A and B are shown apart, each in its own frame.
Chain A
Amino acid sequence: DAKTTQPTSMDCAEGRAANLPCNHSTISGNEYVYWYRQIHSQGPQYIIHGLKNNETNEMASLIITEDRKSSTLILPHATLRDTAVYYCIVRALKNSGGSNYKLTFGKGTLLTVNP
């Protein structure tokens, strides 16, 4: 799987948009970008994933650059409960036989939302 680079930590004011960057310059054509987060003392939580088009769900938006070498996770209105470590992961999917492949977690970005 391609490696990712994320800032170690970021701060955001409550109510503001949090924009978390991720570089994945060695991503290959069949690799998706996944985002997870881990709130203190909990298991990681899936947020969103995408291939090349921008994606949005009830939790966040994912913006992937045209060359796919970087992406940004956007939390439109951050709350104190969004304080967590955010992981950006790239992983290929294989469609044959319904296989699922392991996710490799890096160190992520510690996002602290301040009141």
Chain B
Amino acid sequence: GAGVSQSPSNKVTEKGKDVELRCDPISGHTALYWYRQRLGQGLEFLIYFQGNSAPDKSGLPSDRFSAERTGESVSTLTIQRTQQEDSAVYLCASSSRRSNYGYTFGSGTRLTVV
């Protein structure tokens, strides 16, 4: 597609439920990143995928968070047993050599845990 697509754009869930967030990167982009941004805060790195290499999971805040990506396609970020502190905008970005290593971000998924 023309840009990075994320769905849903908004998600309200009850505390304790699991949620799944989706990211469609730009076609041909080998790298994919997930970030989290709490209200009024900066971007917090979560996880990075590069092709078929093992992902860099160093930013995942707890074992309730996991992410998958098959090859260079769609990625899903799953949060199990959601807590109120998980409320944030979850941003996905992709990049490749052709983009001079600059990231293209999606519009994010706004997650609200009530």
Residue positions of A touching B, CB distance < 8 A: 32, 34, 36, 42-46, 49, 93, 98-100, 102-108
Contact = CB atoms under 8 A, between A and B. Distances in A.
B42 A46 contact: no
B102 A43 contact: no
- Rank and list the top 9 A-B pairs by shortest CB-CB distance, nearest first: A43-B105, A46-B102, A100-B31, A105-B43, A100-B95, A102-B48, A44-B105, A43-B91, A105-B42
Contacts of A104: 45
Nearest to B59: A102
Nearest to A47: B102
10 contacts: A32-B101, A42-B107, A44-B105, A45-B105, A46-B104, A100-B95, A102-B33, A102-B45, A103-B33, A107-B42
Contacts of B104: 46
Interface of B: 4, 30-31, 33, 35, 42-43, 45, 48, 50-51, 56, 91, 93, 95-97, 99-108
A-side interface mostly: loop
Contacts of B56: 102
A47 to B, nearest CB: 9
Contacts of A93: 101
A99 B30 CA distance: 9
